[in-house]
Amino acid sequence: MTFLNPLILIALAAAAIPLLLHLLNLRKLRTVDFSSLRFLKELQKSRIRRLKLKQLLLLLLRIGLVIFAVLAFARPALRSSSVLPGAHAAATAVILIDNSFSMTLRDDQGTRFTQAKQAALEVVEMLEENDEAYVIPMTDPKAAINAQPTSNREVLRQVVNGLGLNFRRADLDDALRAAASVLDRSENINREIYIITDAQRSNALGGSDSLKLFTGDTRIYLLPIGTNRGLAGSNLALDSIRVLTSLFERDRPVELRAWIRNYGQRDVENATVSMYIEGNRVAQLGVEVKAGGSAVVELSAPPKRSGLVSGHIQVEGDDFDSDNKRWFGFPVVERMRVAIAGSPENTAPLGLLFGLYGGAITADRVAPGGVGGLDMGAYSTIILADAPVGAADARRLAEFVEAGGGLVIYAGPSTNRDDFNTTLGVSLGIGLGAPITATDPSVPLTFGSVQKEHPIFSGVFDPANPGNMVESPELTTVLPASGGEGVIRLTSGGTFMSEFRRGRGRIVYVGAPPSGAWGSVATRGIFVPIALRSALYVGATSDPFPQGTVGEPITVPLAGAQLPGQVSVVGPNTIEQFVPVRQYPSGASIQVETATEPGIYRVRAAGKELALFAANMGSGESDLTPMTEEALQKAIGARMSNPANLRQLQPGRGGLGEAITESRFGLELWKYMLALALLCAFAEMFVGRVPKSAEASA
């Protein structure tokens, strides 16, 4: 026997009250014999015995009334297969349905998801009138937080039939935690969980701790779905993709790398992997992947327009296509506005070069001291061509870079090392070392190595001939920077060109001016990518847009000096949501919690598109390998105080209701306790009444 409200048993102490009153009413009398009354003695003895018996019976009835009333409120129950009236104890049932995309697989009984719904409806039909139930999708266990149970079968049928597939992974441990949270709110003696799933191995990635979620009387029923769990055919999946390019320009190739895996049991000899940009297929190739093996492919194609560009990689030629597509996005430089500060001999070569770029760059030239008058928010890149700046301008430049702006610094004869290190260098975190000078004019300083893989030089050198020499300028003096990433180094070991990061922005430092003052830099072919592509590299939003996983938070950085308090996010389902903009020292960003399906999500404010990001399906759903029966029961039993209460059933084969009914707590006794309490009350009234004949004789 168990009690559903055991604390009420404290009230059993009230059963002592009738006994105490009975004892207090007893009075010890002194006997005095009268000769004239002795003949009545024998007559009174029989009446006194009846009176004592009556008082004892009333005492027992009153004690019984209290005891049975308290027991009725304590709700005692027995596990029983009794067929007495009221033998069924109320149950709280939690129906966990796997609605992940692996449930789209089909066998001779239809899709797994259809079978799962049918099994859930079978459970609903088994519920009794006073039972209550929850229906919780395993891909969204958070839905249980505010869920309310219902006893209405029709409502439960509608909930089950209305469930749809979800792109999130079905996590078994998260689902069990959700079920435990709703069962903790239940007062019913029968607590049951029905797990309807195809039992993918990837469903049980969590649950590493040993916390027991369920009490010893909680019963769990496992209903595995799928006659052929797993996939006998081929199952190619795009596990992940990566955008390799860092500087995106119109009509210049964007390179991507894709990781493909065959989770099936059959080799794939010639699957097609395609790259799409803005909905158009721009590249494709064939790939061979052995069963259980993987392959890495690289594709490239040029975007045909500027702005925020999206695309996807797709693989074809397998038996399960739900995991065959992954999305990506990147920004392509539109028209960039550049400010060049310096003397005419330094700004003229740069201005001429930018003018030849086809109008994609608008360059404004200002005097060496004109930085302070610039509206920095109007520029993507600011170039200091041997132009010293004061402390106030240095702070403004540092703020400009931290907010995502680009800065290119050329050293030269006007650059004072000590002044730089105490003003602009302090603000940017850059220190200048001692000048390097060619001691012999006939042996000038030259380049020793160029980091050809750097984004600034992407597409500049012939990849088929990585050892080709770079035409080096001849330099008389170089003022190197310490730290940062060395992009070009001298034969003497010092750095000629370095990259630095500050907040959200980039800085490129060049150790010589863009004129002939310290050598022949401006007259060599290497000067074009140094000058042009460094300005593009630091000024463009050079990182590809984030790729996240459906159902998980995705952080998206936002560029711009003046951003609103919130922005709108529109996904592939065209539903608009508003997300607050968060400001950090490293820059502004948003965090999106509700990416519910794969595709491109666009971030907008005031009618302008600020950014985009991709949400892709998690790779866990691609592995359709089922857990063994022993492993599945072990994973669930580890969360139970009494693993013996775990039972595996076969949906659709009959006997489901009978098997569940046999294991329930079958008999709640509160009705019987209440009936006994009422019986005691009526009996006490009947026994305690005084007959009229007794009143007359008195």
Question: CA-to-CA distance for 275 and 327, rounded, in angstroms?
Answer: 10
pLDDT at residue 601, as a whole number: 96
Query: Last residue of some domain: 539, 565, 591?
Result: 539
Query: Are residues 188 and 240 located together in one domain of the fold?
Result: no
Residues 309 and 434 in one domain: no
Measured between its terminal Cα atoms, the distance across the chain in Å is 50
Q: What is the CATH number of the domain that holds 554?
A: 2.60.40.10
Q: What is the pLDDT of residues 544-601, one digit of tens each?
A: 899 999 888 999 988 766 789 999 999 998 889 999 999 887 678 999 987 888 999 9
Residues 140 and 192 in one domain: yes
Q: Residue 33: what pLDDT?
A: 55
Q: Are 153 and 210 part of one and the same domain?
A: yes
Q: Please report how many Cα atoms fall inside a 13 Å half-sphere around the Cα of residue 594, on the Cβ side.
A: 11
* 347 shares a domain with 295: no
Please check whether residues 642 and 676 belong to one and the same domain: no
Helix (H) or strand (E) holding 604, with range, is strand 599-605
- Cβ-proximal residues to 110 (8 Å cutoff; 6+ apart), any chain: none
Mean pLDDT value across residues 651-667: 58
376 pLDDT higher than 80: yes
Q: In this predicted model, what pLDDT tens digit does every residue of 235-257 receive, in sequence order? A: 889 999 999 988 888 888 999 99
- In whole angstroms, what is the distance from residue 186 CA to residue 218 CA? 12
C-alpha span between 568 and 582 (Å, rounded): 14
Burial class (CB in 10 A: 0-12, 13-18, 19+), 674: middle
Structure confidence at residue 32 (pLDDT): 53
| Together in a domain, 415 and 501 | yes
Please identify, among 539, 572, 592, the residue that sits at the C-terminal boundary of a domain.
539
* φ and ψ of 418, to 5 deg: -65, -45
Q: Are 329 and 341 contained in the same domain?
A: no
Which residues are registered as beta bridge partners of 289?
268
Same domain? For 129 and 78 the reply is no
Is 119 within a domain? yes
Q: Are the C-beta atoms of residues 380 and 541 closer than 8 Å to each other?
A: no
- What pairing do the DSSP bridges indicate for beta strands 294-301 and 307-316? unpaired
d(CA 183, CA 584): 41
Q: Which amino acid is at 589?
A: S
Q: Is residue 87 part of a domain?
A: no
> Which run of H or of E encompasses 391?
helix 391-402
Contact 220, 636 (CB under 8 A): yes
Give the model confidence (pLDDT) of 260-318 as tens digits: 999 888 888 888 999 999 999 999 999 999 988 999 999 999 999 888 999 999 998 77
570 token code pair: 């529109």
Cα–Cα nearest to 241, from 625, 598, 609: 598
Task: Report the C-alpha gap between 601 and 604 in whole angstroms.
Answer: 10
Which amino acid is located at 503 in the chain? G
Confidence of residue 81 (pLDDT cuts 50, 70, 90): very low
Q: What is the CATH classification number for the domain harbouring 212?
A: 3.40.50.410
**pLDDT tier at 677 (50, 70, 90 boundaries)?**
confident
Is 653 part of any domain? yes
Residue 467 lies in a domain: yes
User: Is residue 131 within 8 Å of residue 151, measured between CB atoms?
Assistant: yes
Banded model confidence at residue 77, pLDDT cuts 50, 70, 90: low
- Domain boundary pick from 333, 362, 395: 333
Per-residue exposure over 420-446, b if at least 16 CB sit within 10 Å of its own CB, e if not: beebbbebbebebbeebebeeeeeebb
Total number of domains in the chain: 5
Let me know whether 63 and 142 are in one domain.
Answer: no
496 and 480 in contact (C-beta within 8 Å)?
yes
Residue 109 main-chain phi, psi, to 5 deg: -105, 10
Does one domain contain both 460 and 588? no
Mean pLDDT, all residues of the chain: 84
Sign of CA dihedral 183, 188, 190, 195: negative
Considering the domain architecture, whether residues 405 and 535 belong to the same structural domain is answered as: yes
Domain hosting residue 433, numbered range: 336-539
Q: Point out which residues pair with 298 in neighbouring strands.
A: 257
Helix (H, G, I), strand (E, B), or coil: what is residue 204?
helix
Residue 436 carries which side chain, given as an amino acid letter? I
Cβ neighbours of residue 179 closer than 8 Å, sequence gap 6 or more: 94, 96, 134, 136, 144, 193, 213
State phi, psi for 138 to the nearest 5 degrees: -70, -20
88 in a structural domain = no
Please report whether residue 490 resides in a domain: yes
DSSP 257: E
Q: Which residues of 552-587 are buried (b: 16+ CB within 10 A; e: fewer)?
A: eebebbbbbeebeeebebbbeeeeeeebebeeeeeb
The answer, yes or no, to whether residue 98 has pLDDT greater than 90, is yes
Hey, which bits of 290-432 come out as E strands?
294-301, 307-316, 325-332, 336-342, 361-366, 381-385, 406-410, 431-432
